[in-house]
Amino acid sequence: MWERERFEREVQDLYAEREAPDDAYAALSSGRLAWKGASPEQLAFMRLTYDAQVRRYLDGRRLRFFDTPRDQLDEIESGQLLHRDIIPDCRALLAEARRKLAEDQVRGDADALSIKSFGVGNGYRSASEQLGLWQKYFPRYYNDTRARRLKAKGGEHGQEAADIAAEYISGWLSPPGFGNHVQGRAIDVFARMSTYRLSASSAHIPAWKKSWLHRWLVNNAGRHNFVPYAKEPWHWDHVSAKSVQPSKAPAQASSAAPASGATNAATLAWALAKGERDENKLTDIVFRGRHPELAGRVLTARDRGLVQEWRSIRDDIVRPYLANQAAQGRQQELPQAGLDRPPRLLGGLTREAWTPPGSRRRAALSYRFTDTDALWLARLLVGEAGGRNDADNQAVVWTLFNRYALFTHGVYPTFAQFIRAYSTVLQPVLRSWGAAQRHYRSTEFVRDPSGATYAHRGHPEIPQGQLRRHLELQARPWARLPEGARRLALEAMSGRIASPVGLASEFASTFIYYRQAHNQKPTDEQWRDFTERFARGKKWVWVGDRPSLNQKKNAFFIDARAAALPEGTVRVEPV
């Protein structure tokens, strides 16, 4: 259970560390960054991105830490260090997990038997080590964000491009001085399997989620004060670190409020990770945690104060927390209870081994579509393309398959998550502040209940939110989507539709762009010319005339990076 006194002491220590000497700041400044072989413009962009990411974290009131003094650290195992305070919890966690693994192996549990050993692969990382990692991985993220940066106002190396890159990198790496590894309060676990090693890599996410170790940790790590991080199944935070992360101004830090707020957040994160979504049950969990003395006693009308407290936990803590979770898309699946669902058995998206530019990993992809993927794809077809099952929409579907298989599967663990991020109509809240700015005064606009704004993009005056009709589409059950959209989603995901556009991964309405630019409709020749020039500017290749398609509605393009690959590189294998 939580010890408030210890929490307060920790917070004070942490704020004291904030008063770091100037040379500590200098050691982490963007001026330190180097990029071998880069042009001066690219290096300047690297530094701009780094500063933008640090600002994002500071704006979010995240605390920055400097190298932790060696006498506050201890070895947990295999040379990995952790903050002294969390060593006992971590040791107990590892010991219990190893004991349980041995027991399950004796019982002949196949999942347990596939694990040879496991341990802490990474614990404490100093801010200076983080700087080295950031510098090492930046070129990869630079390539990953290229297409989006090219569309940014101010060009691929401007401020908006830097903000795009900073946001993207934040999904993978904290800037030096931030995050729980730099405090020695987080662990990345690894597992040695019979034929490979499960480690901290996005390519391993599906395998992690199926592993005995991850399942055991999800169900038991909480008893040792470790909480999961949804995006990285190998990463576990100690709640002492989580508790100092929430946005609290230093002046409030020593009051009691943040302690209980932090405990609530950790408790809720924990319950959500175990799959609890019911607001009453979640409220109970927090409430019972605060009142162990009730020992499960049912409240009656005479407990007026307690009932009031229960309600305020539900209204002020649980509901905003759930709204915020949903808004951030952290819940992999929205509750669909009682709705007709598409069939569970769908085909698999496969990609031959290749090495995407900017990555050193050469790997094949094999991804099994789920009923959730089909549901969201059918919704996308309705929202973006009218929901019909025709050749133009088949081309749209294949463009999304190709894009996911070739470029974005490392960023989004599921196809549904990818299209929800990609498509404006499926985003939980509009990602683009420009789109929100156009709509937020309209009655169609529903503000994010957490009150979030686009402050991180420099627009604190624009509230985050989404259009009512988009939210309605996002909630529409399978059975109420047009039959054409349902059939197209299922047929495509079962391998029954060949790609009408080869490996195209982009589409754009060049006919409309031309009309906007010239105030008149293009002739066939003008449109063709314009489409080819547009493609060159994006480093894409137009697929050319395809008799079955009306490309004046949507023209299809192959990313130049994939143009040399054979057509069958991406396939959907039947069930």
Report the interface residues with Zn ion, using CB under 5 A.
Answer: 188, 235
Backbone phi, psi, residue 59, to 5°: -60, -35
For the CB of residue 125, give the shortest distance to Zn ion in the complex, in Å: 9
Q: Could you give the angle at which helices 524-538 and 510-518 cross, rounded to 10 degrees? A: 100
Amino acid sitting at position 359: S
CB 481 within 8 A of CB 528: no
How far is residue 144's CA from residue 456's CA, in Å, rounded to a whole number?
A: 21
C-alpha span between 384 and 394 (Å, rounded)? 13
Q: In terms of CB distance, is 149 or 235 closer to Zn ion?
A: 235
Between 187 and 327, CB nearer to Zn ion: 187
Nearer to Zn ion, 235 or 456 (CB): 235
C-beta closer to Zn ion: residue 235 or 238: 235
Cα end-to-end span (Å), the chain: 48
- 501 is written with which tokens? 């556009």
Which of residues 188 and 506 has its CB atom nearest to Zn ion in the complex?
188
* Least distance from Zn ion to the Cβ atom of residue 235, Å: 4
**Cβ closest to Zn ion, residue 188 vs residue 559:** 188
The answer to whether residues 530 and 522 touch, using CB atoms and an 8 Å cutoff, is yes
Choose between 68 and 551: whose C-beta lies nearer to Zn ion.
68
**Phi/psi at 558 (5° precision):** -100, 130
CB closer to Zn ion, 235 vs 571:
235
Q: Which residues pair with 446 in a beta bridge?
A: 466
From the CB of 119, what's the least distance to Zn ion, in Å?
14
Q: Which is nearer to Zn ion, 160 or 188 (CB)?
A: 188
Task: Give whichever of 17 and 188 is closer to Zn ion, judged by the CB atom.
Answer: 188
Task: In angstroms, give the least distance from the CB of 351 to Zn ion.
Answer: 27
Q: For 261, list phi and psi in degrees, rounded to 5.
A: -60, -45
With respect to Zn ion, which residue has the nearer C-beta, 235 or 457?
235
What is the DSSP secondary-structure string of 430-464?
-S-HHHHHHHTTSTTEEE-TT--EEGGGTEEEEEP
DSSP string, 36-102: TT--HHHHHHHHHHHHHHHHHHHHTTPPP--PPPGGGEEEEETTEEEEGGGHHHHHHHHHHHHHHHH
If DSSP codes are grouped into helix, strand and coil, which group holds residue 179?
coil
Q: At closest approach, how far in Å is the CB of 90 from Zn ion?
A: 14
Of 152, 146, 178, residue with least CA distance to 50? 178
Residue with tokens 């931030």: 178
In the bound state, the residue with its beta carbon closest to Zn ion is 235
* Residue 121 vs 449, nearer CB to Zn ion: 121
Nearest CB to Zn ion, comparing residues 181 and 379: 181
Q: Least distance to Zn ion from the beta carbon of 277, Å?
A: 26
- Min separation Cβ 122 and Zn ion, Å: 6
Give percent helix, percent strand, percent coil of the chain, each to the nearest 5: 55, 15, 35
Question: How distant is the alpha carbon of residue 398 from its chain centre?
Answer: 23
Q: Are 151 and 36 in contact (CB under 8 A)?
A: no
Q: How far apart are CA 334 and CA 539, in angstroms?
A: 37
Calpha distance 36→283 (Å, rounded): 53
Q: Which residues contact 350 (CB under 8 A, 6 or more apart)?
A: 364, 365, 366, 367, 405, 570, 571, 572, 573
For residues 497 and 491, the answer to whether their CB atoms sit within 8 Å is yes
> Which residues in 318-464 belong to E strands, given as ranges?
348-354, 363-368, 445-447, 453-454, 459-463
Task: Answer yes or no: are the C-beta atoms of 173 and 137 closer than 8 Å.
Answer: yes
How many other CB atoms sit within 10 Å of the CB of residue 26?
Answer: 10
